[in-house]
Amino acid sequence: MHRPILHQMTTDMRSGLKKFAVLIDPDEVGPSELKRLVELGLENHVDYFFVGGSLVIGDAMDMTIRFLKEHCPIPVVIFPGSIMQVNPHADALLFLSLISGRNPELLIGNQVLAAPYVKKSGMEAIPTGYILLDGGAPTTVSYISNTTPIPSDKPEIAACTAMAGELLGMQLMYMDAGSGAKKPIPADVIHAVRKSTDVPIIVGGGIKTPEKAYEDCNAGADIIVVGNAIEKDTSLIHDIAFAIHSASVTSAG
Ligand code: 1GP
């Protein structure tokens, strides 16, 4: 199966290049903010736009994806909170299974429902192990998914979960503390997962500073996702992009 976005992520990981994904929640970002995000994304070499959310209430998903595709070459990747967010105009879809949880609907049920549509659309679907970690307080994703996140002081559980995901054939791991998490994922947990799997690791949830993004890259994250903090202050894009891309030099050099 031809998967150019996954291929790029894997090649970058092997080269030690760290990448930055800006997460856009279509409910929170209107046309003028989108335009600004595109400008800042281009200026600061943002690597991906992720679009989605655990709870997308409005109908702006399609408009957001089309706008991004029309106005910039930055790849658009759907990070779906539900099967209703699957959209053929994006460059790729994270085909998630919530492997830290024990909710069969999110392990396989929704994927069965989405599969025929995704196959027919021909879009790139990346088999992704989604690992939810405790972010210090319940988040929308922990509530909506009805799953218990992995405690953030149990790196070994996160590591074994990632190992299982990889053995099941997942090509990407997404470690998430949940959007707006009080506490982002500790570096030692990222490091434990890095040592346990050879696939690219995405890390997100509650990252607000360039320092934390840089620390996570050095701990083994390949792609850092930031949503909330950028919604509040778009100027953060510059400093976080710089921190992530500089971590590449350290790791690769
Ligand atoms: C949430 O990983 C993403 O699923 C990003 O989280 O919005 O807290 O940056 P934030």
Contact 200, 221 (CB under 8 A): no
User: Quick check: 71 pLDDT over 60?
Assistant: yes
- Nearest-atom index, ligand 1, CA of 23: 5
pLDDT at 209: 98
Q: What is the mean pLDDT of residues 125-140?
A: 96
Give DSSP secondary structure letters for the chain. ---HHHHHHHHHHHHT--EEEEEE-TTT--HHHHHHHHHHHHHTT--EEEE--S---SS-HHHHHHHHHHH--S-EEE--SSGGG--TTSSEEEEEEETTS--HIIIIIHHHHHHHHHHHHT-EEEEEEEEEB--SS--HHHHHHT-PPBPTT-HHHHHHHHHHHHHTT--EEEEE--TT-SSPPPHHHHHHHHHH--S-EEEESS--SHHHHHHHHHHT-SEEEE-HHHHH-TTHHHHHHHHHHHHHHHHH-
At 39, list the tokens: 């400008």
pLDDT tens digits, one per residue of 141-161: 999 999 999 999 999 999 999
pLDDT tens digits, one per residue of 201-244: 999 999 999 999 999 999 999 999 999 999 999 999 999 999 99
Residue 54's pLDDT band (boundaries 50, 70, 90)? Answer: confident
Q: What is the mean pLDDT of residues 62-75?
A: 96
pLDDT tens digits, one per residue of 23-50: 999 998 989 999 999 999 999 999 999 9
User: Quick check: 107 pLDDT over 90?
Assistant: yes
The answer, yes or no, to whether any atom of ligand 1 lies below 6 A from the CB of 176, is: yes
Instruction: Identify the residue with better confidence: 6 or 249.
Output: 6
Residue 216 and residue 21: Cα distance in Å, rounded? 14
User: Quick check: 253 pLDDT over 50?
Assistant: no
pLDDT tens digits, one per residue of 165-181: 999 999 999 999 999 99
- Nearest-atom index, ligand 1, CA of 53: 4
What share of the chain has pLDDT > 90, as a percent? 90
Nearest to 100 by CA among 25, 21, 205, 9: 205
Largest interatomic CA distance in the chain: 45
User: Quick check: 251 pLDDT over 70?
Assistant: no
Count the Cβ atoms, other than its own, within 10 Å of residue 231: 19
CA 135–ligand 1 middle distance (angstroms): 11
Contact 101, 132 (CB under 8 A): yes
pLDDT at 250: 61
Contact 245, 20 (CB under 8 A): yes
CA 133–ligand 1 middle distance (angstroms): 12
What share of the chain has pLDDT > 70, as a percent? 98
Q: What is the CATH number of domain 4-252?
A: 3.20.20.390
The answer, yes or no, to whether any atom of ligand 1 lies below 6 A from the CB of 205, is: yes
Compute the chain's Rg from CA coordinates: 16
